[in-house]
Chains A and B, each alone.
Chain A
Amino acid sequence: DSGVTQTPKHLITATGQRVTLRCSPRSGDLSVYWYQQSLDQGLQFLIQYYNGEERAKGNILERFSAQQFPDLHSELNLSSLELGDSALYFCASSMWQNTEAFFGQGTRLTVV
């Protein structure tokens, strides 16, 4: 158990809908990262927050947004969902910005 908690574990929704994925980082970790992993694809970096502020942005679509709250948990919002958004979404956390990150078990999103 990495200490990073993601909810829900599974999510099935229809095209055009909006969903929110939640991540609770390890106790004491200030950085949160979001990744997308499509079937048999690599981990695509979406966005990073450090202590509530956005610090790095990867290939995140405009339909996607994220935020980190004062208690350091983070949410990833996905809207106007398309079939191609079906993937595993991982959250990771690290204590500082240059230390190793620990991953949650992911949320499997299926868009039908």
Chain B
Amino acid sequence: EDQVTQSPEALRLQEGESSSLNCSYTVSGLRGLFWYRQDPGKGPEFLFTLYSAGEEKEKERLKATLTKKESFLHITAPKPEDSATYLCAVRDYGQNFVFGPGTRLSVLP
């Protein structure tokens, strides 16, 4: 059974204080790892797709990387508007699309 874990569960940063979020996965044949951002009461917003180890994607202050067992979401010089829950998801060859529990990020001004 696919498993996705994320750490830390919650993270508080000062504005401008860079950090990384971790997503570890166990999957029977990876067909993609996905990062989403979710604000309270809203639907998840797509950020990145990664397909193979060594791949990196970047968008504004966010950068996602992928290894064979985990992915990192690096946040550089975050701003208060980056506060949200960040979700990692994996798709396997059986088409299951499983999400991790998320990391709640708070960026304080």
- The chain A residues found within 8 Å of chain B, CB to CB, are 2, 4, 33, 35, 42-43, 45, 48, 50, 55-56, 58, 88, 90, 92, 97-106, 108
Known: A98-B31, A100-B49. A88 touches B96 (CB 8 A): no
Q: Are A55 and B95 within 8 A (Cβ)?
A: yes
**A56 and B100: CB pair below 8 A?**
no
Interface contact B44-A103, CB-CB below 8 Å? yes
Chain B residues near A92: list those with CB within 8 A.
43-44
User: A26 CB to closest chain B CB, in angstroms?
Assistant: 11
* Apart from A98-B91, A106-B43, A108-B41, 5 more pairs, CB < 8 Å: A2-B43, A2-B45, A43-B44, A43-B89, A45-B98
Expressed in whole angstroms, the Cα–Cα distance for A58 and B90 within the complex equals 14
Quick one: closest B residue to A56, CB to CB? B95
